[in-house]
Chains A and B, each alone.
Chain A
Amino acid sequence: MASNGWFGRRSQFTQARASHGAAAIPDGVATKCVKCGEIIFTSDFEKNLKVCTHCGFHHKLSADERIRYTVDEDSFAPLHENLRSVDPLRFPDYQSKLDKGIAATGMHDGIRVGVASVHGVSVVLAVADFSFMAASMGSVAGEKIVRALEEGAARRAPVVIFTASGGARMQEGLLSLMQMAKTSAAAARLAAANIPYVVVMTDATMAGVLASYASLGDITLAEPGALIGFAGARVSAQASTQKAPEGYQTAEWQLLHGQIDQIVARKDLPDTLGSLLQMLGFSPEPTLDDLASEALTEADEEIAAIG
């Protein structure tokens, strides 16, 4: 088990944040792993789903990359793309941070929602994009998560959420805090409707998001090495009398403490999700070919009956 590789994970996280987007070397031919520092051909890196070919580190993905790597080809149809944050408190510098996030991601906010299929199983999907203001949860993110959970109940389709977030978005004050209650209440409704809710925690899932919808899945998966914790390193260190243990707040550490079901490598996520959803009773939708051959069989049977 490569768990040794995850120790000292925190400094890597800080480094990745500090170098923000500097992982790609200018001409784009080579990419430097933010974890081990190895230079990899970008083509190999991308072929490997942005997992370091040298140390296995799972780099952060944009929402669109995540969707491409996870769902059946061309099956994703976005919903609620038109929601956009406002600046209800006129909070210092908030508008410029939103503008930067929009420029960096081409998204209005840090969550993309839609319907898709995974191994043929129809799902409602929500995916966080950490590069939009650390995918912090304000009114828009909360509303989109709630709409995804409600959509799942309405369609009777499982809801799969890939979480990543620094927590509640300070710049919307109490309105952000209340999204924790709002999303948790929506998760409770989905549960009451007996529709599965699967959470996949990715790097990094923290604070107000971890303490709300991210922790309420029927099944909770996580990517290797993902940072998962309630408080940031500094706050936690101040509050603790003990030294942070090795691997503290990694997915592996959370697994050890009973907080997640399984750590799944990026390449295995579609298979794992498909398999779990089928075991919970959600079968793949028939494809057009399936429908055609079914119709042909029926026609043959009818002809045979006449004959």
Chain B
Amino acid sequence: MASLNVIEFEKSIAELDENLSKLRRIVMDQKHPQNTADLPDQLANLEQHRTAIIRAWFSNLTAWDQVLLARHEKRPYTLDYIGHMFTGFQELHGDRLYGDDGAIVAGFAKLDDMPIAIVGHQKGRDIKQRQHRNFGYARPEGYRKAGRIMKLAAKFGVPIVTLIDTPGAAADVSADERGISEAIARNMFDMATLPTPIVSVVIGEGGSGGALGIAVADRVLMLEHSVYSVIAPEGCAAILWRDPEKKADAAKALNLTATRAKELGVVDGVIAEPLGGAHRDWEAAAGSLKEALIENLAQLKDLTGDELVERRYQRFRAIGQFTEIEPIHLNGHASGDAA
């Protein structure tokens, strides 16, 4: 069993669940020939056992398991969270320059009674949707739409929530043609000085620059089973070891889990997911996320725009690890090992 990855494990749990629900039907059916007196107890035992197995598995996930979970196709996406947490969502489209990107959604909605600007990556579930959402690979138009809506929010003092879930920004020829690099860079540049609270949450895949392009925030949080990485493990393995199949090793080396991101000081908090992952219980996952948003926005609400911008700058300014030692003498490289 130890050789199963989390998706294979999920399959066996699904089979178990099917059998459990058959048993439950038998227990409910008084006339069923197999409905013996001790069956309810047996069922209860099995259900407890199931929970224990899941708990054991999820307490011992590899980095690669976390990647698979973060990409799980039943995991709630941005619009699912918006549906569960917000009311009155008004989606706003287009970058006013070229087009409308389906891989980023943006608009305004209410979190309880509080108006919020929401920006998030969006993946699709069926083939048609996936094409429309470009598999979550956001294009220049998406970042520029996001920037437009965030600046609009700042203009009227509306707090911003961004939800991160992308394998990476679009990397095709047309993305380059329309300045994908500039679009990402400009958003980070603009977000650094927006005088309104910004909370970003990685809900699934935090894929590199494509993620960070809407994640320069006062608070950056991660869902428990999301990942955040400088490069996809497959890409890292291909470059370093010329072997994309070493993706699990790369995932481990990249330290891309929520726990490690918190330890590195890159994220401020990790939001617990329902046992077995957000995809098992959207309602509960959205409930935890909503609670975290309300808590963090409350902590930011009394800060002035200048204070927010200054703290946000210092927050990112402080990230990085290095030492300061004597300079190398340029006429001889020998002191390079002096540390």
Q: Do B172 and A239 have beta carbons less than 8 Å apart? A: yes
- Which chain B residue has the least Cβ–Cβ distance from A242? B173
Compute how far the CA of A249 lies from the CA of B325 in the bound complex, rounded to whole angstroms: 38
Are A245 and B173 in touch, CB under 8 angstroms?
yes
Decide: A170 near B231, CB < 8 A? Known: A86-B322, A181-B188, A184-B185. yes
Determine the residue in chain A with the shortest Cβ distance to B137: A239
Can you name the residue of chain B whose Cβ is closest to the Cβ of A245? B173
> CB within 8 A of A185: which of B182, B313, B328?
B313
Picked from B208, B312, B325, the residue with its CB within 8 Å of the CB of A82 is B325
Chain A 140-183 interface mask (CB, 8 Å, partner B; 1/0): 10110010000000000000000000001110111111111110
Kindly report which residue of chain B lies nearest to residue A185, judged by CB atoms.
B192
A175 to B316, CA, bound (A): 10
Q: Which residues of chain B from 285 to 339 have a CB within 8 Å of any chain A CB?
A: 312-313, 316-317, 319-328, 330, 333, 336-337, 339
Structural contact, A175 and B328, CB atoms closer than 8 A: no
Partner of B325, one of A84, A189, A242: A84
In the complex, A113→B332 CA distance in Å? 20
Q: Which of A252-283 contact B (CB under 8 A)?
A: 257-259
CB-CB under 8 A from B188, the residues of chain A are 180-181, 184-185, 212
Kindly identify which residue among A139, A235, A245 contacts B320, using a CB–CB cutoff of 8 Å.
Answer: A139
Chain B contacts of A213 at CB under 8 A?
Answer: 185
In contact, B317 and A174 (Cβ under 8 angstroms):
no
**How far does the alpha carbon of A241 sit from the alpha carbon of B174 in the complex, in Å?**
10
B336, A102: Cβ atoms under 8 Å?
A: yes
Q: Which residues of B contact A83 (CB under 8 A)?
A: 322-324
- Does B119 lie at the interface of the complex (its beta carbon under 8 Å from any beta carbon of A)? no
Total A-B pairs, Cβ < 8 A: 211
Query: Are B324 and A82 in contact (CB-based, < 8 A)?
Result: yes
Stretch at the interface among B54-62, B68-76, B254-262, B272-280: B254-262
Q: Which of B172, B313, B324 has the most CB of A within 10 A?
A: B172
* Chain A residues whose CB sits within 8 angstroms of the CB of B182 once the complex forms: 211, 215, 259
Closest beta carbon of chain B to A169's beta carbon, Å: 8
Contact A99 B336 (CB under 8 A): yes
Query: A177: shortest Cβ distance to chain B, in Å?
Result: 4
Q: How far is the CB of B339 from chain A (nearest CB, A)?
A: 7
Q: Which of chain A's residues has its CB closest to B261's CB?
A: A174
Which one of B20-28, B85-93, B233-241 contacts A?
A: B233-241
Q: Are A102 and B212 in contact (CB under 8 A)?
A: no
Q: Do A143 and B320 touch across chains, with their CB atoms under 8 A apart? A: yes
Bound Cα distance from A82 to B189, whole angstroms: 28
Stretch at the interface among A29-37, A88-96, A290-298: A88-96
Q: Determine if B230 and A139 form an interchain contact, defined as CB atoms under 8 angstroms apart.
A: no
B170 partner residues in chain A, CB cutoff 8 A: 239
Least Cβ distance of B150 to chain A in Å?
Answer: 14
Contact of A170 among B175, B254, B323 (CB under 8 A): B254
Q: Which residue of A93, A140, A168 contacts B230 across the interface (Cβ within 8 Å)?
A: A168
Nearest CB on A from B130, distance (A)? 15
> Which of A184, A188, A241 is the most central at the interface, judged by chain B CB atoms within 10 Å of its CB?
A184
Asked if A216 is an interface residue, CB under 8 A from chain B, the answer is yes
- Bound-state Cα–Cα, A182 to B212, Å: 11
Asked if A173 and B185 sit within 8 Å, CB to CB, the answer is no
Would B319 and A175 count as touching, CB distance under 8 A?
yes
- A299 interface residue (CB < 8 Å to B): no
Q: Which residue of A lies closest to B215 (CB)?
A: A181
A89 and B260 CA atoms in complex are apart in Å by 10
Q: Which residues of B contact A184 (CB under 8 A)?
A: 185, 188-189, 192, 216
State the Cβ distance, A112 to closest chain B Cβ, in Å: 11
Residues of chain B within 8 A of A88, CB atoms compared = 264, 321
> B: which residues have CB within 8 A of A?
137, 169-182, 184-186, 188-190, 192-193, 208-209, 212-213, 215-216, 228-231, 235-236, 239-240, 253-256, 260-261, 264, 266, 312-313, 316-317, 319-328, 330, 333, 336-337, 339
15 A-B residue pairings within 8 Å (CB atoms) = A78-B327, A84-B339, A85-B322, A86-B322, A108-B327, A139-B321, A140-B322, A168-B231, A184-B216, A212-B185, A212-B188, A215-B182, A236-B172, A236-B176, A239-B175
- 18 additional A-B residue pairs with CB within 8 Å, beyond A84-B324, A170-B236: A89-B253, A89-B254, A93-B240, A103-B333, A140-B322, A174-B229, A175-B266, A178-B319, A181-B216, A181-B319, A185-B312, A185-B317, A188-B190, A215-B179, A215-B182, A231-B171, A242-B174, A257-B177
Q: Which 6 A-B pairs have the closest CB atoms?
A: A139-B320, A231-B171, A185-B192, A184-B188, A81-B327, A215-B185
